[in-house]
Structure 1
Amino acid sequence: MTGIQRDHQQPAHEPKHKKDLTRRKVVVAGAGAAVAVGAAGTLAASGAFAGETSTTASASSSSTASEACYKLTSETTEGPYYIDADKIRQDITEDKEGIPLTLRLKVIDSETCKPIADAAVDIWHCDALGIYSGYEASSTGGGGTPPTDAPSGTPSGTPTGEPPSGAPSGGTGGGVHQDPTDDERYLRGTWKTDKHGQVTFRTVFPGWYQGRCVHIHTKVHVNGEWTDAGYEGGNTCHTGQFFFDEESVLASAEVEPYSTSTTTRTTLTEDTIYDQSGTTGGLLKLKYNKKHIARGVVGSITMGVDPDATNDNTTM
């Protein structure tokens, strides 16, 4: 990470690649849930969100640590629309419309299962109509009067798994970084993990664009230094993406402005970046009112990282 500059003009209300073979073991669960392995080899888990007290599986004994830790979030491509030196903030919504989304993340060491404090966590994603800030001219989101049969759980046509040239992409050949085309920075931000390895972001439920399922990008930077100017130095130990189950996406598609999208949607099972492995592949644990998703969604997951590794994943 070349450096993240602190945003001094925040609004007043701002408060596939297959699995990387170098990844090791982490606790199985979303949002920092405790996992214990009993004598019979069964798992017991209890969830805990960011800001709450969470109990991490004990790894004090080197002989038993490997038994209590498992693989979790996979490394994936960065995609073309990452912007370094992003804004230091937890509320990345700005004035974008959409279903409120609270994203609760936990970062742990993939070998010891201990929380990693003071890591810099980036997230960025498109808006409700598939547009990325910084790249509005080259994004391929769509709005307007939706066709009568869209969106649906089974999009018409056969998705290629890769957007056309210039479109947002995470797939092979489409993940090469592009320079920003504008100064917008909505739905992007960086924040520091607390002593429990937890960090919370406030944003909106992402929309979709052709060739990709609904997702959020993330990076984790460690071994750097927090200064008055932001975060400097260190290494990027994790680059990944978070995904949303089909039930939640279909529910969101009934709510404006998502319902005005005319863009063909790629489902979770059709996506070429998500590896279909559930939480291991970055699938978020979601909580929301099934009848009123517009009131807001809480998403959570634990990211196991190797703090000594470098996983920029800019050309996968």
Structure 2
Amino acid sequence: MTGNQQNNGPKHKRDLTRRKVVVAGAGAAVAVGAGAALASGAFADETTDSASASASSTSSSAETCYKLTSETTEGPYYIDADKIRRDITEDKEGIPLVLNLKVIDAETCKPIANAAVDIWHCDALGVYSGYESLSTGGGGTAPTDAPSGTPSGTPTGEPPSGAPSGGTGGGGHEEPTDDERYLRGTWKTDKQGRVAFKTIFPGWYRGRTVHIHTKVHVDGKWTDTGYEGGHTCHTGQFFFSEEAVLASAEVEPYSTSTTERTTLTEDTIYDQSGTTGGLLKLKYDKKNIAKGVVGSITMGVEPDSTNDGTSL
């Protein structure tokens, strides 16, 4: 699960790189705000939520089961997971988000159990933990209307780095500049290939649409100290509908951002392919998104391939 893995192509296992992570202590803070109850309840009943999301997409499962989920760039702000936890919120403010994920073998459609799934994303104002001095937050005077339109000026924060397939570059990995690790975490999939995380709805920064990064690691071993060995079979990103992002922009602290936003259709990473490209299925109160959001998606991966996102 290290960022310097080389892509050896489909159906080719690389030599295992040993890695160890420290299990995070108990007591991670729950998402704060008036809407925490909705997301908290969904997280507590994660199996039901995941099953419900899966059932709701049954009509399309036959045709999507055999589609590989799009591989994307790792980006410059990946940190080999050192927090084994499902609640990654810490003390960050924002709209509560429960992320229900399912990992399946894209060829056999069978769930992949005991995989290590990483997620990481910026906070409500576009700042990444571990890279606060490199990230450019968007705090300031609230804009007169919801952020939209074409970004201008030199992109800051995590730079765009080409299309998800056939693109060039990856932004280059940056070494962490601080010890913060909020909005980052790793957890294992259950027997049904499911895993759920509690976090907050991400914000945005110039040059990228709202997104969450993910990696799926397989063939490793879970120990008392964390996860060891294995290889990265999938590196991707999750995306949010424009409707949900515009609704979030009306809620503090998102509403205080002065940063221009790249829309979903303008993004250089999202391939416009819907679920296959990482577009989340979202559930929330359309009249009050601040209550919380539940996002769900099934990832079809090739467990025998190595896709670490550094060579796209």
Match of 1:283 in 2: 279
Q: CA deviation at 1:168?
A: 1.1
Q: CA deviation at 1:48?
A: 6.7
**Conserved? CA contact 1:14–1:90, under 8 Å:** no
Which of 167, 171, 174 lines up with 2:161 in the alignment? 171
Amino acid at match of 2:70: S
Which structure is richer in relative contact order (CA contacts within 8 A, separation 6 or more)?
2
Amino acid at match of 1:189: G
**Conserved? CA contact 2:143–2:255, under 8 Å:** no
Match of 1:259 in 2: 255
Amino acid at match of 2:187: W
Normalised by the length of structure 2, the TM-score is 0.81
- 1:8-35 CA-to-partner distances (Å, cap 9, x unmatched) read 43425579xxxxxxxxxxxxxxxxxxxx
1:197 and 2:189 are equivalent in the alignment: no
Amino acid at match of 1:273: I
**Greater gyration radius:** 1
The count of aligned residue pairs is 273
Match of 1:50 in 2: 50
Query: Cα–Cα, structure 1 residues 187 and 132, in superposed 2: closer, same or farther, change >3 Å?
Result: same
Query: Cα–Cα, structure 1 residues 252 and 14, in superposed 2: closer, same or farther, change >3 Å?
Result: closer
SS of 2:246's partner is helix
**Conserved? CA contact 2:142–2:255, under 8 Å:** yes
1:7 and 2:3 are equivalent in the alignment: no
**Conserved? CA contact 1:175–1:315, under 8 Å:** no
Match of 2:242 in 1: 246
Query: Cα–Cα, structure 1 residues 80 and 93, in superposed 2: closer, same or farther, change >3 Å?
Result: same
Which of 114, 130, 136 lines up with 2:126 in the alignment? 130
**Conserved? CA contact 1:143–1:260, under 8 Å:** yes
Aligned mates of 1:234, 1:189 — CA distance in 2: 17
Two-structure CA RMSD over aligned residues (Å): 2.7
Structure with greater helix share of residues: 2
Match of 1:73 in 2: 69
Q: CA deviation at 1:266?
A: 0.5
Point out where structure 2 has 5 or more consecutive residues left out of the alignment: 2-17, 32-46, 163-168
Q: Percent identity?
A: 72
**Conserved? CA contact 1:159–1:270, under 8 Å:** no
**Conserved? CA contact 2:65–2:109, under 8 Å:** yes
- Alignment map for 1:75-154 (pairs within 5 Å): 75-149=71-145, 151-152=146-147, 154=148
Aligned mates of 2:63, 2:161 — CA distance in 1: 34
Normalised by the length of structure 1, the TM-score is 0.80
Which of 222, 231, 241 lines up with 1:235 in the alignment? 231
Query: Cα–Cα, structure 1 residues 97 and 281, in superposed 2: closer, same or farther, change >3 Å?
Result: same
- 1:134-193 CA-to-partner distances (Å, cap 9, x unmatched) read 0000001210112324x33x32x5558x834xx213414452110000000000000000
Query: Cα–Cα, structure 1 residues 199 and 283, in superposed 2: closer, same or farther, change >3 Å?
Result: same
**Conserved? CA contact 1:123–1:218, under 8 Å:** yes
**Conserved? CA contact 1:176–1:315, under 8 Å:** no
